[in-house]
Chains A and B, each alone.
Chain A
Amino acid sequence: MTAETDTPTASSAAPAARAGRRLPAAMVAWFQAAPLALVLGAFLVLPIIMIVIVSFWGATEYSIYPAFQFDNYEFLFSSPVTYKVFFNTFKYALITWAATLLIGFTVAYFLAFHVRSLTWQIALFLLCTIPFWTSNIIRMISWIPFLGRNGIANSTLISWGVIDEPLEWLLFSDFSVILAFVHLYTLFMVVPIFNTMMRIDRSLIEASYDAGATGWQTLWHVIVPLTKPGIMIGTIFVITLVMGDFITVRFMSGSQSANVGRLISNDIGLLQYPSAAATAVVLLVTVLLVIGILLRFVDIRKEL
């Protein structure tokens, strides 16, 4: 009996006591955001600020010294190599984008609309990810025995009588660089497109057929517009990955082609940190501009 009469007083007193210790709502929100903000601040924002600062420093053959000068940028923008290398980077990005989009969309479409059972969808989807169980570099290098002068591709084509001499452009060429890029990054296109496609209401497709649309018309007027956010997310992945890459270009071109990543890596190899930092800043700004332009076209917020 006493316990029962006590309970109401205790429960009415408890909120008051808790309220006394409660932080203002705004503070709570700040504290909740703090851990991630700290991590991002320490490992993303701070390094970028460092790079920006160093990009204004000076360097000699054997030393670097703090300064605030535009020499690095001046040199960068006056060198024809820079433009050539940036052009090359954009070329790789554009061709890889087109190829991954075509393959990625087709694979995602097949998975989302042709495979009917969820079990098979998951199984085939996992199959796509198997190559990712090995490292990027191994997947890249494994192309070399395949594409080489006496590699599987050339010897097979010769034995079939399709060609008489080994094809030189198969390896250590733009072709092999782009092939490796497409191989490495197509999944980054498949996943977001598949994800968006799975959210398309199937009755929309029936409604389209009901209105007399053909398969291609349905694809173009219904599925593609509704898949745009996924395409855009995949595009951002692929473009940023390809534009920031240096190792694929080095291995697959046999050090015969260059992109911006390699320019930076070479500078670092020569301990020219200020120059590398300046190139990195220009690359960063370029990539951000590209993404900014892409986001003008499609609203991806509802996909996130």
Chain B
Amino acid sequence: MKSDLKLVNVTKRYGETVAVKSINHHFRSGSYACLLGPSGCGKSTTLRMIAGHESVSDGSIVLDGRDVSYLPPAKRGTAMMFQSYALFPHLSVADNVSFSLKMKGVDATKRRTRAMEMLELVDMAKLGDRLPAQLSGGQQQRVALARALITEPQVLLLDEPLSALDPFLRIRMRAELKKLQRETGITFIHVTHGQDEALALADEIVVMNNAVIEQAGPAREIFDAPRTAFVAKFIGAHNVIALPEGKVALRSDAIQLTDAQAAQLSGRITAIEYQGTHVALTAMVAGEQEVTVLLTDKEFFGAPKETGEAIGLAWDARSAHTLSA
């Protein structure tokens, strides 16, 4: 099943404000994509436009070769999983899942069978007669997934699906999401503001900021070679340093401590933070810039340092990425 999703100059304006500014992107069929960015960057609006819950001001959304920009949500071949799951509180789990079939006029026994199949898929078949209020957050999420998948969408849209869960459950559910995506082969587009979530899940990350796409690419490319200062900072574990030759992004774990002669930068330690497997040193270097160096605990405790001590910083030229902005 080929179901590529293309965004062509998609724009959303609310009066004078531009929420999404002429973005172009190609989501490949069967991939797990994450729209990553801070709140207000336009990622949720983009998702809602793809879903059809927000009109497109300009441009078009093309799914499987067909322009779906002006179709109603259910006619697009997409299904949405809402942030708070939006389960109907007056309907049982099974009725929630089979809601779309009921709207289509499918008869009751068939609905029930299909709903049970979907619930089986998310391991919730036993709780089919419960009401949503009687379920835990994780269980509600599974029901919401089943309800979205029963429409047999080509693209599943997930709006911050893990944000309502506690940290422990979040990690478990993200593993389940990934597994489900692999098993069904459906394209998943997942909106999140958590870089760890995006890195863990996505085949492809689309980083958005200020209504535009800052950078898009495979997770490793985004992390290893951020193109802009924003991406480097947002994805984390990077230092953005202004050097005479320009701004560069440098991974904190790619910096070594050396003596003053061999150093590319020298500075003074302002903070030491023990993190278990690692120790994070913060140093103030020339030009009042803070640089974080991540050392393994072995490296650090082999040659311990004190706050206030002068240090030299060195790195392999290949690990410094010149930033375009």
Instruction: Compute how far the CA of A260 lies from the CA of B84 in the bound complex, rounded to whole angstroms.
Output: 51
Residues A207 and B89 in contact, CB atoms below 8 Å apart: no
Q: In the complex the two chains form, what is the Cα distance from A208 to B79 in whole Å?
A: 11
In the assembled complex, A212 has its CB within 8 A of some CB on chain B: yes
Q: Which residues of B contact A201 (CB under 8 A)?
A: 84, 86
Partner-binding segment picked from A173-181, A221-229, A247-255: A221-229
Q: Which residues of A contact B102 (CB under 8 A)?
A: 221
Contact present for A222 and B79 (CB under 8 Å)? no
Q: Does chain B have a CB within 8 A of A5?
A: no
> Given the complex of chains A and B, what is the CA–CA distance between A190 and B102 in angstroms?
30
State in angstroms the CA–CA spacing of A225 and B91 once bound together: 10
Q: Which label, helix, strand, loop or mixed, suits the secondary structure of the A interface?
A: helix
Task: Say yes or no: A211 contacts B53, CB within 8 Å.
Answer: no
The residue that A212 contacts in the complex, of B74, B82, B89, with Cβ under 8 A, is B74
A211 to chain B, nearest CB (A): 4
Interface string of B115-159 (1 = CB under 8 A from A): 000000000000000000000000000000001100100000000
Q: Which residues of A contact B89 (CB under 8 A)?
A: 204, 226
Interface positions of B from 67 to 117, Cβ below 8 Å from A: 72-75, 79-80, 82-84, 86-90, 99-100, 102-104
Count A/B pairs, Cβ under 8 Å: 61
- Nearest CB to that of B78 among chain A residues? A210
Say if the beta carbon of A165 comes within 8 Å of chain B: no
Q: Chain B residues with Cβ under 8 A from A214's Cβ?
A: 103
Residues of B within 8 A of A207 (CB): 80, 82, 86-88, 147
Taking a contact as CB atoms under 8 Å apart, the answer to whether B72 and A211 are in contact is no
Residues of B within 8 A of A210 (CB): 51-53, 73-74, 79-80, 148
B104 and A212 contact, CB distance less than 8 A: yes
Instruction: Give the number of chain B interface residues (Cβ < 8 Å).
Output: 25
Given contacts A211-B151, A217-B103, contact A226 B90 (CB under 8 A): yes
> A221 and B84: CB pair below 8 A?
no
Residues on B with beta carbons closer than 8 Å to the beta carbon of A209:
52-53, 72-74
Answer whether residue A206 sits at the interface, using C-beta atoms and an 8 A cutoff: yes
A204/B86 contact (C-beta < 8 A), A212-B74, A212-B104 known: yes
Within 204-244 of A, Cβ neighbours of B (below 8 Å) are at 204, 206-214, 217, 221-222, 225-226
Q: Point out the residues of chain B lying under 8 angstroms from A221, CB to CB.
A: 99, 102-103
Which residue of the partner chain, among B84, B99, B104, B151, contacts A203 with CB atoms under 8 Å? B84
A209-B74, A211-B103, A221-B99 are known; give 19 further A-B pairs, CB within 8 A. Answer: A201-B84, A201-B86, A203-B83, A207-B88, A207-B147, A209-B73, A210-B51, A210-B53, A210-B79, A211-B74, A211-B100, A211-B151, A212-B73, A212-B104, A213-B74, A222-B88, A225-B90, A226-B89, A226-B90
The interface of chain A, by Cβ under 8 A from chain B, is 201, 203-204, 206-214, 217, 221-222, 225-226
Which residues of B approach A to under 8 Å, CB–CB? 51-53, 72-75, 79-80, 82-84, 86-90, 99-100, 102-104, 147-148, 151
